[in-house]
Amino acid sequence: MVGELIFHLGDCKTGTTSIQAALAKRLWRAEGRSISYNVPFNHIPMARSLSADPEERRRRWMREAEALARSGADWGIVSAEHFEFVSPEHVRLAIEEFMPAWRDRLRLVAYVRPHLDRFLSTYAERTKKGEIDLDPPAFARQILRRRRLHYHGRFTRWREVFGDRFTLRPFVREELEDGDVVADFFAFVGGRGTFRLEGAEPRNPSLSVEDLAMMRHIHRRLAERGEGVVEGQRAFGWNFSEILARLGRPDGGTPLRLHAPLARELAEAWAEDAALLDRDFFGGRAIMVPALAHSVERAIPEAQSTEPALHHGPEALRLFDCLADLLGRMVEADPPGFLRAVSSPEYRVPPLPPEPAPSETEKPPAPAPASRPLLGRALGLARRALGRTRARLAPFAQR
């Protein structure tokens, strides 16, 4: 079995995609050391199963536990940013039920992004996946109302449940190993100098204002088809955005920025939370509080809008509508197939093999005992109906 179990908990928008890509593609080298990472890309389905039915939870966690037990690696790693939305108590209970062998050989790490940077990045992420159709000020009101980026209470609960096995790291370049979150994560796993990274590159890059406006228009059109296309929208948005960012815009595009009045309002709302994080998780060092001030300093005078018609003409909007209609057909025709098809080939989960057809000599299974009375009644009704039909048709048959 693996020697030590590491849970990478996210947060969202803290380089999780880059870390997971390095793990999935084995972009690391460590002399005489090894890692067990048992998924094509990440463990989000496993994290989500904690809110699903018990059988799904059991299946996901047992499969991972069995893989860890079979491995002789130094470290087993579970990585999913969705743990941000999961109760730490539920994680503890799942570990005790399915992974008790590692209860005392366990470490957990999360990264926290400065508040205003996280707000802007979350806005872009949710826009490109079709989860919101808002401009930044409206999204800010929603975030503040739901207290989504008040970090201190959430991370305090993780520490209360897991004690000093839980570590919170600031997602701030100056605080990271070599200024890079991937290097920082691997240093957390094995210590400084244990791993050498090869070919790791940033993933999930930012979109321009113009591209975000395009995504809003496409998703607005797709949303007219209803709830049946929601998962397809998310998959399309995530994967298409990666292609957009990789190819870039000829003009470079307009970077998404906060405007000064909104930046000041948000900084004031999160000032206390930032101070509490610095005091309770970073040894009193000023990290999150100065980050708020830096974000305000970088703000621009005028508000930006990602409303599509402000950035694209009628002909471009018509093409976006055509693309959305075609995508909608594809999603509705084969939802699971669409999710797999739009994924990057290197991370696709192979489809389940078809069930073998029964051989000619194989007898069909007998009905389950509980179903026989119902089946008998159905056959009886069918026989009587057939008899009545024959009686009505008899005069015509004699002509």
Q: Are 211 and 253 in contact (CB under 8 A)?
A: yes
- The pLDDT, as a whole number, for residue 344 is 86
Q: How far is CA 312 from the centre of its chain?
A: 30
| Cα(23)–Cα(27) distance, integer angstroms | 7
For the domain made up of 1-113+171-199, give the CATH fold: Rossmann fold (3.40.50)
| Helix or strand (DSSP H, E) at 111 | strand 106-112
Angle, CA 85 vertex, CA 114 and CA 342 arms, to 5°: 90
- Nearby residues of 86 by Cβ (< 8 Å), 6 or more positions away: 47, 50, 51
- The whole-number average pLDDT for the span 260-267 is 98
Every domain of the chain with CATH number 3.40.50 lies at 1-113+171-199
* Global pTM value: 0.84
Could you read off the pLDDT of 89-125 as tens digits, one per residue? Answer: 999 999 999 999 999 999 999 999 999 999 999 999 9
CA distances for 167 relative to 171, 367, 382, angstroms: 13, 55, 68
Tokens of 342: 């739009």
Could you read off the pLDDT of 187-206 as tens digits, one per residue? Answer: 999 999 999 999 766 666 78
Could you read off the pLDDT of 292-336 as tens digits, one per residue? Answer: 999 999 999 999 999 999 999 999 999 999 999 999 999 999 999
| Cα(24)–Cα(44) distance, integer angstroms | 14
CA-based max dimension of the chain = 103
Could you read off the pLDDT of 26-46 as tens digits, one per residue? Answer: 999 999 999 999 999 999 999
Could you read off the pLDDT of 338-375 as tens digits, one per residue? Answer: 999 999 887 776 554 554 554 444 444 444 444 444 44
CA distances for 161 relative to 93, 154, 164, 337, angstroms: 10, 11, 9, 40
